[in-house]
Amino acid sequence: MKTELVRFAFGVFVVAALASGCASPRYPANAKLKTGSGPLVQAHRGGRAEYDDNALGGFNMCLSRGIKGFELDVRYTKDCVLVVMHDESLARTTNGEGNVEDTTFSDLCKLRLKKSSEQVPALSEVLMMMSGREDVFIEIEMKAGPSDFYTPYVLEDYCRRLSAMAKILMKPGTYAFTCFNDKTLAMMRKVDPDAPLGLIVGKPLEDAHIAKAKELGCCSVAPRVGTTKEMIEKAHKAGLTVCLWMCQDKETWDECAAVGADRVTTDFPLKLSREVE
């Protein structure tokens, strides 16, 4: 039943998106929401340390307790259903084996996440939970990248479907598509010229990262904690918002606030938000 509902819902999303012609803003308004008087606290994978890794219940828990910022990861199943899953391998977070991209959605639904015993959620389930809200911001990390599975054709299809679903389910200004991979970001820009994009980098911010983000048409950049105030000021002057990761405690949040970060990503969103409000 879940498989049939997800497929039906996605068909409605695509038709509606194509008919509406709506476009997401390149510079999301909610990218500068605050937690307390400083950077927005974003629940990394729905608060994986306080619930489970990319579990529907984790996103619901955070929403119900006032969290406004989120981060999640999106992959394709073998039969091209968008699902919320970080790893390529199923082994770490579920009771299954093999890879997400080698598994059909119906077979994925038979598995359970190890901590919560929930099913791996379809992206549509998570976004529908936030649909219509104007007070949230979600970074949708694209885990697709050029590979034997993600051929240029499949990668383009992935980006088209992802863009269509976000446009229909999310309010403009409440989300951005993020990625480490230049080619994936470039593909999303190709299929949706107005898509809000963010470049993720695995180290503190450097001038080259700002240049790359601007080249790709990004509106944000997500470097590691340890980025200097000078570099964040440069990013802001270039028209980019800055999200620092990982921020796991108030001391680090204070440091991120001091250097001017717009957002921080954490595995402990409930604890951290209580401490900084």
Helix (H, G, I), strand (E, B) or coil at 261: coil
Task: State the sign of the Cα–Cα–Cα–Cα dihedral 146, 150, 153, 155.
Answer: negative
Q: What is the pLDDT of residue 2?
A: 64
What was the pLDDT predicted at 19? 41
Q: Which two tokens stand for residue 139?
A: 């970074």
8 A C-beta contact, residue 61 and residue 51:
yes
Q: What is the CATH number of the domain that holds 88?
A: 3.20.20.190
CB-based contact 141:71 (threshold 8 Å): yes
DSSP conformation class of 100? G
CA angle 139, 226, 213 (to 5 degrees): 45
Question: Mean pLDDT of residues grouped by 10 in the chain (277 residues)?
Answer: 55 46 61 97 98 98 98 98 98 98 98 98 97 96 96 98 97 97 98 97 98 97 98 97 98 98 98 97
Whole-number pLDDT of residue 20: 41
Amino acid at 176: A
CA 240 centroid distance within chain:
17
In three-state secondary structure terms, 229 is helix
Q: What pTM, to 2 d.p., does this model score?
A: 0.92
> Which residue in 7, 33, 56 sits closest to 273, CA to CA?
33
Q: Which domain holds residue 173?
A: 2-20+29-276
Q: CA–CA separation, 125 vs 141, rounded Å?
A: 16
Judge whether 226 and 252 are in contact, CB under 8 Å: no
The Cα–Cα gap between 62 and 43 comes to 8
Distance of CA 142 to the CA centre of its chain: 7
The string of pLDDT tens digits covering residues 225-239 is 999 999 999 999 999
Dmax (CA) for the chain in angstroms is 53
Distance of CA 84 to the CA centre of its chain: 9
Please name the residue that has the structure tokens 């990861």: 73
Between CA 229 and CA 213 the distance in angstroms is 18
113-134 burial by CB neighbour count: b if 16+ within 10 A, else e? Answer: beeeebbbbbbbbbbbbbeeee
- Domain count for the chain: 1
Q: Is the peptide bond before 246 cis (omega within 30 degrees of 0)?
A: yes
Do the beta carbons of residue 221 and residue 209 sit within 8 Å? yes
